[in-house]
Each structure stands twice: as structure tokens, then as C-alpha cells.
Amino acid sequence: MPSSESQPGAAAGTVVVIGTGGTIAGVAARADDHVGYRSGELGAEALVSAVPPLAGRRVEAETLARLDSCDMDHATWLALRERLAQVLARSDVAGAVVTHGTDTLEETAYFLHRTLAAQAKPVVMTAAMRPATALSADGPQNLLDAVTLAGWPGARGVLVACGGRVFRGADLRKVHGWRVDAFDAGDAGAMGVMADGQLQRHRPWPEAPLHAAAAALAAVAQWPSVDIVTSHAGARGEVIDALVRAGARGIVIAGTGNGSVHRLLVEAARRAETAGVVVRRASRCQLGGVVGQRPDALPSAGALTAPQARIELMLDLMVDGMVDTGSSRRDASLEPKTGAC
């Protein structure tokens, strides 16, 4: 595998930048304020205009949403996926860029990785830890890198360009709350770096086997509710019981260490399974996922982080008959009150 590749030629097509909000589009009253800003104030057009080197490139910009990504929702995911599919289908388009908040960047990246056909052209997501008004804003360079990567020959799949590094969307996790280099790729490692406008690639482009639910996603009337519960000292099983009563179809437990779960949560999870809810066990640790599966343990989510496991389980539940709940007996007192898909 080459460790560095040549610059994209002049023939590279148009790159479409789609804005969804986040700190990269955030505005603060003072240039030294990295915290008290409003996310998603600027549209994608303004973000592109603020990067002078993009003036000579074939770049189009449009704003899909102006969310603080902590408020990201499934309707926006669907709209983004649909718009990206339209954009990538254009013969003059080389790839797309999505500007996003950092907080749930890994979730949107994983969702797109599993549901959007991007094997012929890339979708490059980018974000920033400092608002656009900061003295030393990180957004403009990140956006420039993302546009460069979206036009890179051979680029494909859902990628993330942040802080000079390139990640496969499926590997991404936010590991720091406020530092500029807030992202990591777990044990997989970063896919490469953007060095002075050049991609140095150290790992293959992502393979993206689409989830079976992807084809009919737009037709799913109501997405199944799947929630995350964290295991910790003093955990209470009532939290899981309440989620089941509130209509959860699936529950991901972010366990301690290698997916160990407080015994009271295990008992409640077994009650939930009896009620027909699907439970998966991930780890609250940022690295390593869950290795192995003891026969008496709740089903493991494997290498997936808890937020990724939540998305995967939601997609699984959309596909009829794909998930074995492990029980045919149902406890009426715990029966979900609202149905889903």
C-alpha cells in the first residue's frame, strides 16, 4: 500500500459541501470564547467562503440543518442520507463533504457507513472543536482538507477529516471533550493524514457492507426505539424496566471493562428479554470493544461502541425476523406500550 499519494488532478469533479451545523458553524461574541458560542449559526455557504483556497475549486455549498449535534435526530439522518445519494449520483460530482458537530459525528458517520452506498465516491465528514469566530479556529483547515479528500482520486466510503488526520467513519470516536485533537479510531488507528494538502494513506479505503435495512430505510414509518444504559457501581435495574414500559424495542448496555454488567442490570435485562426487547452488551471503555462471549452473558455487541451498537440494533430491528429475541414468553406488565415499524 502506498504511504502517500499524488495530488488530485485538475479533472477532479465538483465537491458538494452539505452543512448540518455544529461548532464549525458556531459563533461566539468574543474571539477567545471556545465554550459560550451558539452552534450551527453559519450556513455551509459561509463556511466555504471563509476558506480562500477553496475559491479556485469546483465547490458547491448547501445547508441542510443548523443543529448542535447533541440534538441530532433520525429525521435529519434520513434527509442527509437522501440528499447525499442525490448528490453522489451526479456524474459531475467527485464526492461530498458534510460539516457536522463533533459530539455525535461518530454516530452520523456510522449510520451513513451502514446505510449509504458510497463505494464509488466518498462522503467526507468534518467538524471543528472551536467556533468559526475563534482566534485560532480549526474549522477552515478541516474543511479544506475534507474538500481535498472528497476530490481525491480513488477515495471512497464514509471518511472523516479532522485535525489533520483521516479516519474511516466506522472507526471514529470522540475521545476528548474540548481539545482540538478530539478524535481517535480505536485499535484500528487513523486511516491516514492530510499533510500540506496531500493525503498520506496508511490503511485501505473502507469497505462498506450495507446493512440489510438500508434498501427500505426511507419506507420505515417509525424507527424502533433503542436506548443506551450505562453500567456503574450502584446501578438500578428499574432504569431498564422503565425503558421497557416506555416502549424500548432494544437496549444497549454500556458495560464496564470487557462488557461486564452490574448484576441488577443483568436481572432487569433478562426481564426485558422476556418481554421481547433485544439487549446487547457493549463496553463503556473507549477502546477494545467486547471480546468473547460467555454462554450465560447477555449477547455481546463485539467491537462496536455503545452508540454504534445502538444504531446497528435499530437497523436490525427494522428487518423483520432478523433478530432472535431469545424468548417467546412475554410478560404483559413489561410489554412495550408503543409499537415501532
> Is-catalytic flag, 23?
yes
Candidates 127, 199, 265, 317: give the one binding ligand ASP (CB under 6 A): 127
Residues 61-80 that bind ligand ASP (CB under 6 A): 68-70
Residues 178-237 that bind ligand ASP (CB under 6 A): none
What distance in Å separates the CA atoms of residue 124 and residue 157, rounded to the nearest whole number? 8
Residues 35-64 that bind ligand ASP (CB under 6 A): 39
* Burial class of residue 136, CB neighbours in 10 A (0-12, 13-18, 19+): exposed
What distance in Å separates the CA atoms of residue 63 and residue 106, rounded to the nearest whole number? 20
User: By CB under 6 A, is residue 101 in contact with ligand ASP?
Assistant: yes
For residue 116, report the phi and psi dihedrals to the nearest 5 degrees.
Answer: -110, 130
What distance in Å separates the CA atoms of residue 35 and residue 148, rounded to the nearest whole number? 29
User: By CB under 6 A, is residue 28 in contact with ligand ASP?
Assistant: no
We find the least distance from the C-beta atom of residue 106 to ligand ASP, in angstroms, to be 11
We find the least distance from the C-beta atom of residue 101 to ligand ASP, in angstroms, to be 2
Name the residue with cell 478541516: 142
**Neighbouring C-beta atoms of residue 67, cutoff 10 Å:** 20
**Which listed range, 97-105, 185-193, 261-269, 332-340, lies at the site for ligand ASP (CB under 6 A)?**
97-105
Q: Which is nearer to ligand ASP, 103 or 145 (CB)?
A: 103
Query: How far is CA 125 from each of CA 59, 132, 250, rounded to the nearest angstrom?
Result: 15, 17, 28
Rounded to the nearest 5 degrees, what angle is found at the Cα of 288, between the Cα atoms of 276 and 324?
Answer: 20
**Which listed range, 54-62, 101-109, 216-224, 260-268, lies at the site for ligand ASP (CB under 6 A)?**
101-109
Q: Which is nearer to ligand ASP, 131 or 336 (CB)?
A: 131
User: Sign of the CA dihedral 17, 161, 102, 231?
Assistant: positive
Q: Strands, DSSP E only, in the chain?
A: 14-21, 59-67, 93-99, 122-126, 157-162, 165-168, 173-174, 183-184, 192-195, 198-201, 226-230, 250-255, 278-283
Residue sitting closest to ligand ASP (CB): 101
Candidates 99, 102, 141, 148: give the one binding ligand ASP (CB under 6 A): 102
Q: Which is nearer to ligand ASP, 38 or 330 (CB)?
A: 38
We find the least distance from the C-beta atom of residue 178 to ligand ASP, in angstroms, to be 9
Residues recognised as catalytic? 23
Residues contributing to the site for ligand ASP (CB under 6 A): 21-23, 39, 68-70, 101-103, 127, 129
